[in-house]
């Protein structure tokens, strides 16, 4: 089984090393990052994290198009499972197993997983309820399309998304200044 992580990044220097290191510890096989013109040192950190890097000057919010293209690329190169991950997310197996062990235990009929997202206020405090819009992991198939925000994926074969296998911790706003910067960048 080959597990590929695809992500777009923009100004994530404060968390990218922890995020990528965590993904490698979960025994994924490949990580492909698109950097959309980071100015905070993110791009300079990526080569040392053993990831494949694609640079673009396209706006950050081309994310669904980029993740769809990266998922198709990874699948055509042999990936079985695709995880579209944001740099501020830490995915894990609900049972305590690694992502690899969790995915290996799933029946082949499971094509798509709903991944519950727990918003964290900091490393030790999370919101009481998981977010209604989680994320998605999926088996590769030609013609797939990743939805905005990585909340869903269209698979031509159809079928439901299964839950209960993977969750993620999200540190979306790591300080007040970080929140303001992110809001300004995304609305620009």
Q: What is the pLDDT of residue 70?
A: 96
Average pLDDT rounded to a whole number, residues 15-30: 97
The rounded distance, in Å, linking the Cα atoms of 71 and 146 is 8
Q: What is the pLDDT of residue 119?
A: 75
Query: pLDDT-derived band of residue 53, with 50, 70 and 90 as boundaries?
Result: very high
Q: What is the pLDDT of residue 118?
A: 82
Q: Per residue in 61-91, pLDDT tens?
A: 678 899 999 999 999 999 999 999 999 999 9
Share of the chain above pLDDT 70, in %: 82
Query: pLDDT-derived band of residue 94, with 50, 70 and 90 as boundaries?
Result: very high
**Average pLDDT of the chain to the nearest whole number:** 88
Q: Is 168 exposed, middle or buried (0-12, 13-18, 19+ CB in 10 A)?
A: buried
The lowest-confidence range among 5-9, 61-65, 139-143, 164-168 is 61-65
The rounded distance, in Å, linking the Cα atoms of 182 and 2 is 33
């Amino acid at each position: 089984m080959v597990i590929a992580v695809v992500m777009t990044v923009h100004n994530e220097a404060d968390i990218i090393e922890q995020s990528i290191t965590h993904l490698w510890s979960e025994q994924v096989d490949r990580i492909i990052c698109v950097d959309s013109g980071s100015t905070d040192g993110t791009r300079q950190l990526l080569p040392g994290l053993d990831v494949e890097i694609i640079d673009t000057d396209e706006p950050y919010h081309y994310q669904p198009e980029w993740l769809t293209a990266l998922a198709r690329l990874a699948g055509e190169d042999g990936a079985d499972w695709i995880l579209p991950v944001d740099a501020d997310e830490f995915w894990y197996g609900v049972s305590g197993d690694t992502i690899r062990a969790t995915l290996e235990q799933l029946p082949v009929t499971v094509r798509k997983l709903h991944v519950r997202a727990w918003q964290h206020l900091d490393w030790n405090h999370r919101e009481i309820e998981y977010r209604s819009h989680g994320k998605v992991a999926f088996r590769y198939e030609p013609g797939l399309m990743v939805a905005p925000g990585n909340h869903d994926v269209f698979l031509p074969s159809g079928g439901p998304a299964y839950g209960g296998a993977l969750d993620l911790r999200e540190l979306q706003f790591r300080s007040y200044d970080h929140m303001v910067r992110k809001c300004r960048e995304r609305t620009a």
